[in-house]
Amino acid sequence: MSEDRAPDIEFRASVRARRLRFHAEPRVEIDATRSGSRRTNLPDEVEAHVTYSDVQVDEAILSWLEEPDERS
């Protein structure tokens, strides 16, 4: 892996909601080379049974692929 070059895979998504409510606190685990999110009106750790209004989440996941092994 090398972050000295542009990523081989880049996934970006944006989600908006007028209202968002969690019935339980989510357990989130991301296994990626590099990821990041930007949230509007939504804390990093959400609470169960709280309604959040006018939320937006922008997510980016970047990954670099390794060269294939030349062994035959």
Residue 66's pLDDT is what?
77
Contact 69, 13 (CB under 8 A): no
Task: Please tell me the pTM assigned to this model.
Answer: 0.66
pLDDT digits (tens, 9 = 90+) for 39-50: 999 998 999 999
According to the model, what pLDDT value does residue 54 have?
A: 97
Largest interatomic CA distance in the chain: 57
- Model pLDDT for residues 11-40, shown as the tens digit of each residue: 999 999 999 999 998 876 655 578 888 999
**Reduced DSSP (H G I as helix, E B as strand, rest coil) percent helix, strand, coil of the chain, to 5:** 0, 45, 55
